[in-house]
Structure 1
Amino acid sequence: MSTSLDQACKPGTFFPSIGGADILSLEAIPVTGYNATVTAGSRFTAPDVDLINAEFCNVTVQYVHTNESDHVISVEAWLPPHRDWNQRFLAVGGGGWNAGRSDFGRLAMSGAIADGFATIVTDAGLGEAADPSEWALLRPGEVDMVAFRNQAYQSLEDEALFGKALVQDFYGTGPSFSYFNGCSQGGRQGLLLAQRYPDLYDGIAAIAPAIHFSELLPYMAWGQQLMNEMRQYPHSCEFDAITAAALSACGDLDGVRDGLLSRVDACLATFDPHSMVNTHIPCAQLEQGQVDITKAAAGLVEEVWRGMPIMRDNRSSTYPGVSPGANLTGSDAVPVLLGTDCASGTCFGRLGPLAEGYIKYFLAKDPEAIFDTSMTREEFLDTIVSRSREQYGALVDASDPDLTQFHASGGKMVTWHGLMDPLIPHRATEDYYNAVAGISPDVQDFYRYFEAPGIEHCTGGPSQVPTKLFKQLQAWVEEGVAPDASDVQIKVGCATHKRILCAYPKGAVYQEDCGDPLKMVTSSS
Structure 2
Amino acid sequence: MFVAANTATTPASPDYCRLLGAIDPVDPTAQKINFQLNLPTTWNGKVVQYGGGGFNGTLVTATTALRDAAPDDPLPLTRGYATLGTDSGHQASAFAANAIGQFGLNDEMLVNYGYASYRKVKDVAVALMQVFYGKGPSKTYYFGGSEGGREGLAMAQRFPNDYDGIVSVVPVVQLSMLFASYIPHAQPQFNGGWLNAGKVRTLAKFVSDNCDTLDGLADGVVNNYLACPSRVNLQGIRCAGGVDVSDACLSDPQIATVTAVHTPHTYSFPLANGLTSYPQWMWGNESSPDTLNGVSSVGGLPLSTMTRWVTGTAPPTVAVNAITDAQQWLYGSNFVRYFITRDPTFDARTYDANNYKARVQQVSEIIDASDPNLSAFFTRGGKLIMRENIGDLAQSPLAGINYFNAVAAKVGTGTMEQSARLYISPASNHSGPAASVTDGSAVPTMVDLLDPLDRWVTAGQPPADALTQTRKATTAPFALQASRPMCRFPNYPHYVGGDVKLAASYVCAASQL
TM-score range, shorter chain: 0.7 to 0.9
Equivalent of residue 432 in structure 2, options 459, 464, 467: 459
Equivalent of residue 320 in structure 1, options 269, 273, 279: 279
Which amino acid in the other structure matches residue 2 of structure 2?
P
Q: Quick one: structure 1 residues 202 and 382, their matched pair in 2 at CA, closer, same or farther if it must change by over 3 Å?
A: same
Distance 2:201 2:83 in 1: 41
Question: What residue in structure 2 maps to residue 269 of structure 1?
Answer: 230
- Asked if 1:160 corresponds to 2:119, the answer is no
- Asked if 1:85 corresponds to 2:43, the answer is yes
Q: 1:113 deviation in Å?
A: 1.3
Question: What residue in structure 2 maps to residue 300 of structure 1?
Answer: 257
Q: Compute the TM-score of the two structures, normalised by the length of structure 1.
A: 0.77
Distance 2:345 2:136 in 1: 49
Question: How large is the Cα RMSD of the aligned pairs?
Answer: 3.6
Which amino acid in the other structure matches residue 354 of structure 2?
D
**SS of residue paired to 1:508:** strand
Equivalent of residue 468 in structure 2, options 481, 487, 490: 487
| Counterpart contact for 2:428–2:445, Cα < 8 Å | yes
Question: What residue in structure 1 maps to residue 477 of structure 2?
Answer: none
Distance 1:298 1:366 in 2: 32
Question: What residue in structure 2 maps to residue 6 of structure 1?
Answer: none
Question: What residue in structure 1 maps to residue 59 of structure 2?
Answer: 101
Question: What residue in structure 1 maps to residue 348 of structure 2?
Answer: 371
Which amino acid in the other structure matches residue 470 of structure 1?
L
Which amino acid in the other structure matches residue 466 of structure 2?
A
Distance 1:499 1:130 in 2: 43
Distance 1:500 1:31 in 2: 38
Indicate the structure (1 or 2) with the bigger Cα radius of gyration: 1
Which has more strand, going by share of residues? 1
Q: Quick one: structure 1 residues 156 and 36, their matched pair in 2 at CA, closer, same or farther if it must change by over 3 Å?
A: farther
Which amino acid in the other structure matches residue 124 of structure 1?
S
Show the 5 A alignment for 1:322-401. 322-327=281-286, 333=293, 335-339=308-312, 341=314, 350-352=325-327, 353-372=330-349, 375=350, 380-383=352-355, 389-401=360-372
Distance 2:63 2:92 in 1: 12
Q: 1:64 deviation in Å?
A: 2.5
**SS of residue paired to 2:44:** coil
Which deviations, in whole Å up to 9, do the C-alpha atoms of 1:268-326 show, x marking residues without a partner?
111211111238xxxxxx9x985543233234323311232234538895411221115
Over the matched positions of the two proteins, sequence identity in percent amounts to 24
Distance 1:516 1:358 in 2: 39
Distance 1:91 1:390 in 2: 29
| Counterpart contact for 2:315–2:325, Cα < 8 Å | no
Q: Quick one: structure 1 residues 36 and 414, their matched pair in 2 at CA, closer, same or farther if it must change by over 3 Å?
A: farther
Q: 1:359 deviation in Å?
A: 2.4
Distance 2:309 2:100 in 1: 24
Question: What residue in structure 2 maps to residue 469 of structure 1?
Answer: 449
Distance 1:99 1:36 in 2: 31
Q: Compute the TM-score of the two structures, normalised by the length of structure 2.
A: 0.78
| Counterpart contact for 1:274–1:295, Cα < 8 Å | no
Q: 1:461 deviation in Å?
A: 1.5
| Counterpart contact for 1:238–1:297, Cα < 8 Å | no
Which deviations, in whole Å up to 9, do the C-alpha atoms of 1:170-218 show, x marking residues without a partner?
1112222211111111000000000000111111101110110101111
| Counterpart contact for 1:57–1:78, Cα < 8 Å | yes
Equivalent of residue 119 in structure 1, options 70, 75, 83: 83
Question: What residue in structure 1 maps to residue 509 of structure 2?
Answer: 517
- Asked if 1:412 corresponds to 2:412, the answer is no
Which amino acid in the other structure matches residue 460 of structure 1?
P
Show the 5 A alignment for 1:139-158. 143-158=105-120
Q: 1:120 deviation in Å?
A: 1.0
Deviates more, 1:180-189 or 1:167-176: 167-176
**SS of residue paired to 1:167:** helix
Which deviations, in whole Å up to 9, do the C-alpha atoms of 1:138-177 show, x marking residues without a partner?
8xxx820111111111111112212222222111122222
Deviates more, 1:124-133 or 1:304-313: 124-133
**SS of residue paired to 2:18:** strand
Q: Quick one: structure 1 residues 461 and 499, their matched pair in 2 at CA, closer, same or farther if it must change by over 3 Å?
A: same
Question: What residue in structure 2 maps to residue 17 of structure 1?
Answer: none
Q: Quick one: structure 1 residues 332 and 172, their matched pair in 2 at CA, closer, same or farther if it must change by over 3 Å?
A: closer
Q: Quick one: structure 1 residues 389 and 451, their matched pair in 2 at CA, closer, same or farther if it must change by over 3 Å?
A: farther
Which amino acid in the other structure matches residue 488 of structure 1?
Q
Show the 5 A alignment for 1:416-427. 416-427=387-398
Distance 1:132 1:354 in 2: 13
Distance 1:458 1:159 in 2: 26
Q: 1:127 deviation in Å?
A: 3.1
Which amino acid in the other structure matches residue 470 of structure 2?
Q
Question: What residue in structure 2 maps to residue 13 of structure 1?
Answer: none
Segments of 5+ residues of structure 2 without an aligned counterpart are 67-73, 294-306, 436-442, 473-479, 496-502
Deviates more, 1:174-183 or 1:89-98: 174-183
Which deviations, in whole Å up to 9, do the C-alpha atoms of 1:369-412 show, x marking residues without a partner?
4433xx3xxx535358x576323000010000000000111100
Which deviations, in whole Å up to 9, do the C-alpha atoms of 1:60-90 show, x marking residues without a partner?
2322355768542222111011xx2122111
